[in-house]
Amino acid sequence: MRQPRIDRIIGLVFIISLFSFFENTSHAKQSDCVRRVKHDNSKSGDGLSWKAAYRTIGEAIREASAALAKENKEGRCEVWVAEGTYNVFKTNRADTLQLARNVDLYGGFKGTETRRAQRNFQKNETIIDGRDRHNDQDSVYHVIIGANNALLDGFTVAYGNARRERFGGGMYNDRVSPIIRNCVFRNNEAGWSGGAIFNNLNKTIIEGCRFKNNKARSGGAVANQGTTGKIINTIFTDNHATSDGGALFAFSFDKTQILSTILFVTMPRETAQQPSTLIKAICCLEIVHLSIIKVTTRPKTKVFDRS
């Protein structure tokens, strides 16, 4: 197994260069099937134009999936979401945003674009929020539930609370393998593992994302269980675990499995209670390159621990 390379870099130069790299990573050809979402429209339309956009993301995903089923072919449909906050909580904590197979969800639009390449997901923040609009102390268990061959690109996912459900406050991926790209996960929590994202028996890819202020017992930001996915060009900051893996907790029942590959990851100021680690792997985590920027931990906290 390749040993982790740890570079301690003091300063923010590397982070700035990473953000420059993240700015344009969506190169897939635009689909002919597009549905639009704009939360401040007076009413939902058919989603074929911004003026007739749906008001909720869930509506657009369901209609995009139905359009693909009607065509009866393995194509793809895109959902373009205009800037603003979209609350998942409708009636109770079990509410969630369910992704769909072959549906690509893109945030970061102003609400006037005619081409996907015109969006700016950094300027036009598009938030999927797990809180109840009428009581911000109450949040859904999982803000998003993933799907096979689905894409989540250009969103902020916040305030999922899986303390009772235990896993994946921001996103829960059980035996499904979405791609998560250009997203920010912040202020999510889980009672057991994966405050922001919990991956189980899948091949989920996380690319160009940021994780900030997420909490869990293990894997404050991300927990991978039997996952052969990748975490690429991703920044972890100020995440917290009360046991192990302030940033990432990874484990597998197969001692020969390469669990995850992490490429060019920065993890500033991860915290976890003593004794703990920023990254905890129970077998088979391959780290190609890991940069630690301004790590401030308690004296006995390890950067990496492999069991």
For residue range 5-61, list pLDDT tens digits in order.
444 433 333 444 444 444 444 557 898 899 999 999 989 999 999 999 999 999 999
Nearest to 218 by CA among 164, 283, 279, 287: 279
Amino acid letter, residue 178: P
CATH number given to 6-24+33-306: 2.160.20
For the ranges 40-54, 82-96, 174-188, 227-241, the lowest mean pLDDT is seen at 227-241
DSSP reduced 3-state for 118: helix
Q: What percent of the chain has pLDDT over 90?
A: 61
Q: Write down the pLDDT at residue 287.
A: 75
pTM to 2 decimals? 0.87
Q: Where along the chain do its domains lie? A: 6-24+33-306
